Every structure is written in C-alpha cells, then in structure tokens.
Structure 1
C-alpha cells in the first residue's frame, strides 16, 4: 500500500531538517506552500536531552538522534572509521550544537584589495547577504554583544545575560592584555527555567535550532508534514527536471513528488545523494556536469587550548560566553574566531578526548587500551582545575581532491577523502603561534599536536557560483543543470569562513526561500 504522503503533489519536498532544511521549510510553509520534510532519523521524544555520545550500536544511536553509522574517512592517506558529530532526527545536527551564531566578516565573502579572497569572492557578496544575516538573527532570537573592534553595523542582538564571576574575570584580564572579547551571539530564548542546553538536546523550546526554530513552527502553520525514518535513496529525473524522490519508510519503498526539491541533508549527505542518483544524462551523478559534486570538501581545524582565569576566580561552571576576533585576519593571514567552548576540563571530557586520540592512532585496535586512559585523565583533571576550554576555528580552503566519495556497491556508506595540505599546515602553525602570543600573561596549554578537522563543520561540496563549469549551483542555489532542484545547507559554501557556519546556513536558507516565493513575472 502506498504511503498517504505519496498521494500528494507537494509544492516543495525538503530533504533534511537541520538548520538549512528547517529554516527554508518554515519560510515556505509560512508563505502558504505545502511542504513535506523527509528526515532520515527517528522522531524520538521531544523532552529528550541526551548529547553526542560514543554509543557504537547503530539502533541505539538512531534512537538517540545520532547518525547511526560510522563515517569512513581516508585522512591524510590513512583509512579509519569514526562516529562524526552528526545528528539524525528532527533538527538534524543542530539539536546538539552549542547554538553559537556568528556572522562572518566582509572578507569572508568579498574580494578586497587589502584582503584578497582565495577564490575571487562568493557569487553573493556581504552587502547582499547582510539583510538575511539580520533576519536569521531575529528568527533564531540571538542574544549577545557586538564585537567592539568591528567596523560593520552589528546584528540585531538581544541583550545577553549577566556574566558569571569566571566570565567577568576572563573578560577583564583579556581586555587588559589588549584583546577585544565580547559576549558570543547565542541562539537561546532565555525563557524561565532555561538550562543552557549547549552541546546536547534541549527538552524545552528555548534553544533555537532546526527543530524549534524551523520544523516545529512550520508544522504549526498546518502547511507542512514531517516524515521521520524516511531514508532517501535517490532522486529521479527527466530532461532538466527532478521528477521524484525515492525513499524507504522502514522497509517499504515509497516515491514522493513535488514541484520543487530542496536538498538540505548536509554537506556530506547531499552530494552523496546526488552521486547515488546517476542516470543516462548524468552518468557521474545528478546535477554533476561540472564534475564537482562532492568535491572541495572543507572543515575547520580546531585548535583547542585550556585557559586559566586570573585572580582566583571561583571556577563557577563552564563558560560559552566569550569570543574574540583579534586573530581573525592577522598579519595578512586568514585565521578565524576564538571562542570558549562551554565545557570544563572535567574527568569525563578528558577521557573522551584521550579516547578520540587513541581511536585515530595506530594503536586503535589494541584491546584494553581505552580503559588505560582513565589514570592520565584523572591526573589531568587535577592539573586543569578551574581551566576553561577555548577553541580557535581555523578557516579551511577548497581543495578539489578533498571530497565525498560514493561506491554503488555500498550505496548507504558515507565516505570521504581529506588531506591536510602543506598550505593549511603552514597556516595552522602560524595560528598556533598567534594564539600563544595573544594570550601571553595567561596560563594556557594547547590540548593537541596533530591537525584536528572539525567533522561537525563540513561544507563546500556543492559550491554555488556563476560559471557552470566551476560550480554546481547558481547564485540562487538552484542547480545549473536542473530547473527545480535547490540546495540549502553548508555544501553551497565556496569557502569555510572563519566562524561557525550556522548563521550563514540560516541566512542563505531564508534568501533561497525568498527566491522560491517570489511572484512569477
């Protein structure tokens, strides 16, 4: 028997419900369009509050809203499997994020004489994006303070909560060192009883993510329907149009149709789905006449370091409040933002970090070694005391050989190839030196030695641009090759920028939605 939703000809089918899918689906539903969300993960329970965890049973991971299977990575020529910080459920990965919504700098998008852009600039510049950044900040109810060193007009931010003793101490000592800290923009509604669910699911509606700010308001309009446990296997096409979505609901194959199709499955899964949809006209993958589908994969490199508050601050919890852009563009180098992570160097966090290092080492398969991380973690916990964990996000740049791959003999396998090239290694070395110099006078300690890709920030695999030979999508994020296919996730980015991607994903989703709701001339 066919699924009831397969009997409807939808105005739009949105594949994926993260920041991009949730935001564009809401905008379309509020404009009166009939929207079907297809979500790979399970619905779960609204009041769940689990975080990203190292559960290795696929069924248990899916039940908790985690991507169920390991990602197969060829990292710097070495094959490994890892459980990436990816979600699978309403809201996608965003339900686990730390809700930091930072706006990029002008030079992230524009080619400027004093700050040349490595790709010549995005096809849509900073000024064209600016109203959509503002709209996204309002939609996601972003609280925070402007960067005191910024030259652009600030986002429309809501007032942040008062600083804790630890935050105030760090703000004061960083300012005294000549830096410009500010309260990081955070997507929290600050309702009564808010638990600050940063890094794990929010059981209420105060954390603004793809679920609470996107899917749920869309459903409330009465114009949207959400199908969970819907594993999309391929898109079908005829000529220059997508004709349907083939999916499995449980074990039952179902086909859905719409006027327009919007990919928002993330920068790893959106290209994988197009590669899986090869046909006679597109033998290398749907919408892939350029050969760029899946290529130019980027992450950020994480530079984690512990920072101790000065002046005997009490260490009253972990801070997520502090961000700085003093090293964003520094000595002619494109680096990125520095921000507190909202975690303390606790015993559990250190065990988790050491086990991650072990899993990526040649000793990963040695039985019993994971248990041996407990003793050094206990010693490190005593050493760190009240230290806060900060991260520098180093901008990654596109390399065509870094890519999502697809094996038709294993169509459900999510795999990628990524190499840290010499240019990125050199910028990383310079970034670490700059961090050490900027935080002089503070007790600090880097927490890693090897380059650490942030597997939660993939982007760039379906880049948008004006030239069909060098991009997959038009400036409005519609396929160059297919008249009714759009993309609304981080795969459209030509560069990774120096900030968390969430605000730009949301802003671009609103911008694309505006194109889709414009009256036909």
Structure 2
C-alpha cells in the first residue's frame, strides 16, 4: 500500500508491528468487520524466500532486506557492556517467520499462582481458565499438531496428528519413559503440504509453517478489510486528553501522521516500550515509571545427548519434550525440549561466534575466525549427539529494563542483571536435567548463564493495579483509553514455556474486547 492511500482511508484500528501478536489481533479484528491498517517498519519480503537469521551479517541494509533487525543490540549485562545481533526479526511476521514453530501452553500455575514465587511480584490478572478458550482458538488457527502432554491438567483440544517421529527420537522417548519421565511429541505449528520441506528456523516459502505472517497478516489481508504499510517506521505517538490522536511515522523520508479510533502496539517487548518512551518527555502511559521495566528472558540450558550406539543417527529433529521438571518442590523451573539442531561443525562455529559477540572480546574479529579450530575438534567429539534445551522461567525485576537510545531510534538497548535467585534455580535445574538423561551419554554445552534474547517479555506489564502495571486486564493502557498492547511486553512473568502460543491467544482475547466495544458503539449509534 502506498502512503497516500493509507492517509486517505478511514481506519478503525492501526496495528504497529506484524509479529504473532499484531498478526493475530489484526486477523481477528478484520474478520469481525473492522478496518485495519498494519504498520511495519521492515519490508514485506518475497513470499518464496527461505532466509535464516544470520548473526554474521553486519550490513544494516542487507539485514533489513532479509527481514532481520538491522542494528545490533546494545546490552549492559551484569554491569558489562556488549554489542551483538540478537535473534530478532524486522519484517512482516516479525521474529516468528524465523522461529522453530513450537507453540506450547503454559501451566495453570504460570497464570494463577504467585504465592510460591521467591519475591513478591504481581501475578497475571487473567486466569488460566479464562485463557483456555483462546489457547484452543490459537492452536486451531496455527494448525498445531502434537501429542497430548501426559502431565497436563487441561489437555489441548485442537491438536492435529503430528508427523511421525524419527527413529532416534522414538528410542529416546522409550528410554525416558522407562526412567519414569513423561515425554511427548512437541506441539508445533506445522502443516503437511506437498513439496514442503522442514523450515524450522528460517522463512517458509510456502505455508507449511504457521507464523505471524501466514496465520495472521495474510488471512487478514484476504478479508479485504485490512491493508499493510511496510517499510514504515513509527517514531512516536501523539496524545491529548487521555487519547492517542495520531501515529507519527516515517517512510522513504516522508513524515506523516496516521490516525484511527484504536491503536494497538505489537512491536515486541523491545519495540513497544521504546515507542512509548520516545513519544514525549518522560514517556506515554508512564506515570508510575514502569514503561520498559521488568524485562525478562528465558534462561537456556543446552545439553548434548547421544541416543546410543544401537540407534541410527537420522538427523536433527525438534519433536520431543517433557515437563517433569517444570515445577519441582515449589520451585519454578521450565520444560525441556529438543532444539532441532545437531552438534555439527557449522553449528559449533556459529555458537562460539555468538559467545564472542556477546562478550567483551567482540571487538576482536580475528577471534571469530579462530573458532574454526576448536569447532573441528568438538565436531569429532560430539558426533551424532542431539541438543536439548531447558527453558527456565525468568522473574521480573524493575531494574532490568529496556532503555531509549537518544541517538538512534532503532537501537535496541537494555540493562539486565542476573539475580541471585535465578542462579540458585539454575543450579537446581541443571542438576535435574542431568539426572533426567541418566543412561545416556550427555554433556552441557555451556557453563555461564545463557539468556534467550529471542524471548524478551514483561516491559509493559498488565494488571489490575494502576500503581504497579502499565496496562489493565484488557491490555489497554491505564492512562490512554484507545491504546492497547498485544505482544509479549504485557507478561507479568515469563512462564516456563515458549511464549508464542500465549502471545497469539492473548492477542485474540484483546481483539475480541476491542471488537465487542466497536459493535456496542455501532449499535448505540444506530
């Protein structure tokens, strides 16, 4: 869509960002009859491309063309500054077009229980029971397939039949079950389409992998009531008398003001708070100073596991997981799942380069090339090992926060300190993961805490109390009657699973609230 057409239309809702949250909110609103404009900073891209996120690509133009976030993250972690390219998308579909399509439900205690947390924090203002219908809907819209989780208190009702498991995964499942664990085939947003190969971790040229683009934006556009304005960077929001009155955006050097009755922020846990902070001195919706605070990630615990000499190596897969360590003796930990990668030379080189990039040694480019030597040695050592990861829940601390870069509006900056209680839970989690794989040859792939920078959340917390949250339970800003948020920034806690399904389900819930309100106003006007 060109800029003049966007300015000439009357929109019921403007959605800033086209990831899973923005895509699903826009689809639901368009299907319920609202006129929706998606505004995306990155390009629409080509539907047939198969690009994977590449942290070794440094040119910002080349990165933006491929749908990567163009600039490196500026991070201060435990008081030490570092700079690196994070696993963040920057085009239509956001990061979801590159994700591995794992859509797992959180546990009831993730949303309902806050008494056992190691420090007093605000819990979720919606219950697991209130969210379950939307989990069902999201699973259906994303064509999620997999096995029922044997430990689930409330089983998924919309699961499709999964693809057959590999021989090595079947053997691993049997051995884990024999140890009294409860492994199952992971819940994945994959459809069986003729001629479509596995596209986990990179853009799908068809629609076998369902993401924010294929399950959200594209179906919304097909209704005829939605439009997409790509390559358009929103710089700030204008507000007056408790309402958003304009969306100031820049495209090809032109600065314009877009307007709609409703504005939905879905730029992610990094982007949404930065936009509010940039909108006026002190930030919009920031009377309590909480915009950007309470940044959380997951903590990754990666472990290489050998399937055994009697099992043929049949390549990496991402089909197996278990939740026996999710919540142990009152301690919030997380689920364990296959990563879908093998410990090969290329993967080891990539991993070592990322470690250097996130360290104080990132300025020494020659070190990256020297990673090839230990990678060759390690590839011989690990052979056909498969990689599993434990996703451990992070908890919110106000000092962990997203910051605004006064010189570069597109820069992702944050300050994060790893808490003592997180390190304590990590030690317990690692011990339990090692015990879970007893009987297999196994080895952890890291010694230092590894934050999952692809799972940021919590920076615009929602809750019932305006003093301790930015948004109300409907994800509307306490201070602005027509501003909503539909991404991971709303999370009060990070939970012990991948956030994608919860983002999608909550976006559908928020969109229904908006559509219901729109219908009530329309009926009253008639």
Same fold by TM-score greater than 0.5 = yes
How is 1:98-247 mapped onto 2 (pairs within 5 angstroms)?
Answer: 98-111=100-113, 119=121, 121-247=123-249
Among 282, 285, 288, the residue aligned to 1:287: 285
Q: Judge conservation of contact 2:295–2:401 (CA < 8 Å) in 1.
A: yes
* Partner residue in 2 for 1:21: 22
| Residues in 2 aligned to 1:58 and 1:213: alpha-carbon distance in whole angstroms | 28
Residue 338, structure 1, aligned to residue 340, structure 2? no
**What's the CA shift for 1:189?**
1.2
Among 307, 327, 330, the residue aligned to 1:329: 327
Residue 77, structure 1, aligned to residue 84, structure 2? no
* Partner residue in 1 for 2:488: 490
**What's the CA shift for 1:436?**
1.1
**What's the CA shift for 1:115?**
8.1
The 1:361/1:114 distance shift into structure 2, 3 A limit, reads closer
Q: Judge conservation of contact 1:107–1:115 (CA < 8 Å) in 2.
A: no
- Cα deviation, 1:162-218, whole Å, max 9, x if unaligned, reads 111111111111111221110000001112223121010000011100000000000
Q: Judge conservation of contact 1:12–1:36 (CA < 8 Å) in 2.
A: yes
| Residues in 2 aligned to 1:377 and 1:144: alpha-carbon distance in whole angstroms | 34
Residue 502, structure 1, aligned to residue 500, structure 2? yes
**What's the CA shift for 1:412?**
3.1
* Partner residue in 1 for 2:257: 255
* Partner residue in 2 for 1:6: 7
- Of 476-485 and 359-368, more deviation after overlay is shown by 359-368
* Partner residue in 2 for 1:33: 34
Q: Judge conservation of contact 1:139–1:213 (CA < 8 Å) in 2.
A: yes
- Cα deviation, 1:9-28, whole Å, max 9, x if unaligned, reads 21000000000000000011
RMSD: 1.5
* Partner residue in 2 for 1:364: 362
* Partner residue in 2 for 1:414: 412
Q: Judge conservation of contact 1:100–1:186 (CA < 8 Å) in 2.
A: yes
* Partner residue in 2 for 1:394: 392
* Partner residue in 2 for 1:62: 64
| Residues in 2 aligned to 1:485 and 1:70: alpha-carbon distance in whole angstroms | 29
The 1:96/1:163 distance shift into structure 2, 3 A limit, reads same
**What's the CA shift for 1:367?**
4.3
Which blocks of at least 5 consecutive residues in structure 2 are unaligned?
522-526
Length-normalised TM-score, structure 1: 0.97
Q: Judge conservation of contact 1:8–1:257 (CA < 8 Å) in 2.
A: no
| Residues in 1 aligned to 2:485 and 2:492: alpha-carbon distance in whole angstroms | 13
**What's the CA shift for 1:284?**
1.3
**What's the CA shift for 1:118?**
5.4
Length-normalised TM-score, structure 2: 0.96
Partner secondary structure for residue 76 of structure 2: strand
Partner secondary structure for residue 454 of structure 1: strand
**What's the CA shift for 1:442?**
1.1
- Cα deviation, 1:445-483, whole Å, max 9, x if unaligned, reads 100011111000000000000010100001000010000
Q: Judge conservation of contact 2:122–2:492 (CA < 8 Å) in 1.
A: no
Structure 1: 4+ residue segments shifted above 4 A: 112-118
The 1:319/1:63 distance shift into structure 2, 3 A limit, reads same
Q: Judge conservation of contact 1:173–1:310 (CA < 8 Å) in 2.
A: no
